[in-house]
Structure 1
Amino acid sequence: MKYNLEKAFKFIEENEKEMQQVWIDLCKIESPSIDTEGVNQAVEFLGEKLNGYGMETKIHKFSQGPNSITAYFNNGSTEKEMAILGHLDTVHKKGLFGEEVVKVDIENDMIYGPGVLDCKGGVIVGTLVARALNSIGYDKMIKLAFSGDEEVGHRYTLGEGKQFFLDELKGFKACIDCETGFVDGRVVVGRKGTTNFKIAIRGKAAHSGNEPQNGISAIKEAAYKTINIEKNNDFNSIHYNVGVIEGGTSQNTIPEFCTLTVNVRFRKLSDLEKIKNFLTEITNTSFVEGTTAEITQISLSDPMEQTEKNIKLFEILKKNSEELGFGTPYSCYLGGGSDAAHSVTLGIPTLCGMGVKGYENHTIRERAVLSSLVERAKLIVKTILTLPENFEGEN
């Protein structure tokens, strides 16, 4: 079936102002990952808007932590074409942006505020895409799937937030994650995974002036472990960062306890065994005689592995971007994770970083380019409409 692309584009242009206002209103609802009530309020607000557009929505509740949401236009089709991902939690503490949470600078084409770029702007892109396709009678399934605790790797939902994606994305031909977009034209085809470990070290306390010879310094042991962990870094493969060290009781006491929190970035799930073996070896090695240590894995976020399927999807999007006059994007591989990992795990061709474009997410200077909402929506719509029936990336 041939669809009217120009009509879809006209819908996007005619609804730009309305969707900008939804973008603003959604970002005014401050929703840091740790604030379940705030995230759920954002989910409910969005759900009401999506219902108003005629979409069928479902709010997904978990054993604990914030909710997630899915939505689609029920056109009777069971043909799963594209899933569009995003998240409604942010990293900013409530109140950090002051009383005027969101600021709009029309003259400079900018919007400022928590989550305007990462990732509520992307949520609005996905919503506009689904609406535009529905307006031209698109008869395949486009599903929106938006998380409530992406920024913390679904830690607050005890991993159920990850399973949410694995369940909801099965069977789709392709997937686009409307995460933070980049003004330089980058499109993400791969991301490193993240895992965190805590190493708890025990020594022996003693008075540092009267009997230092009787003490065994856990902090000294931590220093040796830190040096030996970070000597093993390969920034193109597995990268270790001892990011937090906690220990000691006073300046005149040989420290009996110390903990290291180690953040690890890696490219493939198969790297995990190597990582665990290495850190276990470091943990079990006493550089300072008399110390002992234990290791605990405290979190895991899967990598978005770069695949040939992702590259094939990127080439389609790249061609469409050039034809639309939006420039020539280039593919990239990033160190930070996203929920695109889960669609790739399912074997689905996936692109990430396709939300609104902007600058300095995760900072109080977070801002996005207003006009990129329309540009990204048009590019994704055209990419969906030009996916071949026999798309080679099909899972």
Structure 2
Amino acid sequence: MLADLEELVTCESYSADHAAVARSARVVAAQGARLLGARPETVLTDGVTHVRWTFGTPRVLLLGHHDTVWPIGSLKTHPWSLEQGIARGPGVFDMKAGLVQMFHALAALPSLDGVCVLVTGDEEVGSDTSRPLIEDLARRCAATFVLEPSAPGGALKTGRKGVSLYDITVHGRAAHSGLEPEKGVNAATELAHQILALSRIADSVTAATGPGTTVTPTLASAGTTANTVPARADLSVDVRVPSAAAQDAIDRLIRTLRPEHPGARLHVAGGPNRPPLDPEASHGLFALAGDIAARLGLDPLRQAAVGGASDGNYTAGAGCPTLDGLGAVGDGAHADHEHVVTATMPARARLLAHLVGAMQ
């Protein structure tokens, strides 16, 4: 398992680099073919490479991704290493160790009939090209197991917030900031008003639907030169919601934003990206996993609801029972301290193998 993990981690797969993702897909395909005894289908959509195995009529979907947030060259600053049971490297926790565990779990089964494996190449950037594949398979399956990394301490993820993403553009009017600033319409100032309005929207939705909704302005830019009133400003907004009701309410309110300055114009793009993963979608599968863990003599399983989203949001939204966080135990997804506790990998693979076997 460790040799396979090193093979995947040392093949960089930054989401935005489609050539790198294609190379990674070839490595994933070869590793999976060796362990599963079958070559996969390669699905290329808008330049993004996904890998899929189908054995018989699918009943169980195993879902993961091979792209990472780490730009090409990150191996120079975050090299693969294995010291005292800790594996490090770009994407080792999120989620290449999960792929290794998945392949080894399936290799232990006497039959793969009824199993479908989908490893996508664009999860970290919203799954735009893979979402139709994911939802189509989920609608045909009785269960989805997601190999994303675990929550802290190895907890399985039985709830995830939904995600909405917006881009807000303010159109103002340029003017010389020293000679005649009064003739301009300052898009940066208008953007500041809109950021404050977004905070009020978050407060109102929380009051109406309950806690857990966050509206976070992230990327912002304005202007062209230091002595020009900005004619344009742009803002990206990340929204996380605990329920479909909150997601709908946020969407309606953001689309009602109006400029404070009569000479400014607003344009709002984007909207809901992933629906929430409701804990009810995981309830039965988590209970099954707990029973299996007890029979195998593993530590009692724990569950957690998290703010981050995954492709498990899509499968649950499509009506398929979904259990997430079955991948690696470690910490530091997307961070400098990303790592995996390697001693946990065989037990996690055993648990997954028995879960799949129970659903076939």
The alignment's TM-score, normalised by the length of structure 2, stands at 0.90
In the TM superposition, residue 92 of structure 1 has moved relative to its aligned partner by: 0.5
For residues 138-157 of structure 1, the aligned pairs below 5 Å read 138=111, 140-154=113-127
Structure ranking higher in helix proportion: 2
CA contact (8 A) 1:117 1:181 kept: no
Flag structure 1 segments of 5+ consecutive residues without an equivalent.
1-18, 390-395
Letter of the 2:232 counterpart: F
Q: Please name the residue that 1:36 is paired with.
A: 18
Deviations 1:51-92 (A, max 9, x none): 233124111111x222111125x4xx53x4422111000000
In the alignment, the residues of structure 2 paired with residue 46 and residue 209 of structure 1 have an alpha-carbon distance, to the nearest angstrom, of 58
Confirm or deny that 1:89 pairs with 2:67: yes
CA contact (8 A) 1:85 1:126 kept: no
Confirm or deny that 1:306 pairs with 2:289: no
Q: Please name the residue that 1:221 is paired with.
A: 190
Q: Specify the structure having the higher radius of gyration (Cα).
A: 1
Confirm or deny that 1:230 pairs with 2:199: yes
In the alignment, the residues of structure 1 paired with residue 40 and residue 226 of structure 2 have an alpha-carbon distance, to the nearest angstrom, of 58
Q: Please name the residue that 1:130 is paired with.
A: 106
Letter of the 2:40 counterpart: T
In the alignment, the residues of structure 2 paired with residue 103 and residue 294 of structure 1 have an alpha-carbon distance, to the nearest angstrom, of 47
Flag structure 2 segments of 5+ consecutive residues without an equivalent.
none
Deviations 1:75-128 (A, max 9, x none): xx53x44221110000001112318831111xx211110111111111111111
Q: Please name the residue that 2:349 is paired with.
A: 377
Q: 1:201 to 1:183 in 2, by over 3 A?
A: closer
RMSD between aligned residues: 2.2
Confirm or deny that 1:278 pairs with 2:253: yes
In the TM superposition, residue 386 of structure 1 has moved relative to its aligned partner by: 4.2
Letter of the 2:76 counterpart: G
For residues 165-184 of structure 1, the aligned pairs below 5 Å read 165-184=134-153
Deviations 1:121-144 (A, max 9, x none): 1111111111101xxx33642221
Q: Please name the residue that 2:180 is paired with.
A: 211
Matched residue SS, 1:206: coil
CA contact (8 A) 2:138 2:319 kept: no
Confirm or deny that 1:57 pairs with 2:29: no
Residue-pair matches, total: 353
Confirm or deny that 1:296 pairs with 2:269: yes
CA contact (8 A) 2:330 2:340 kept: yes
In the alignment, the residues of structure 1 paired with residue 175 and residue 125 of structure 2 have an alpha-carbon distance, to the nearest angstrom, of 39
Q: Please name the residue that 2:157 is paired with.
A: 188
In the TM superposition, residue 378 of structure 1 has moved relative to its aligned partner by: 1.0
Confirm or deny that 1:261 pairs with 2:236: yes
Matched residue SS, 1:61: strand
CA contact (8 A) 1:122 1:179 kept: yes
Q: Please name the residue that 2:317 is paired with.
A: 345
In the alignment, the residues of structure 1 paired with residue 287 and residue 218 of structure 2 have an alpha-carbon distance, to the nearest angstrom, of 38
Confirm or deny that 1:20 pairs with 2:7: no
2:337 to 357, 362, 365: 365
Q: 1:208 to 1:49 in 2, by over 3 A?
A: closer
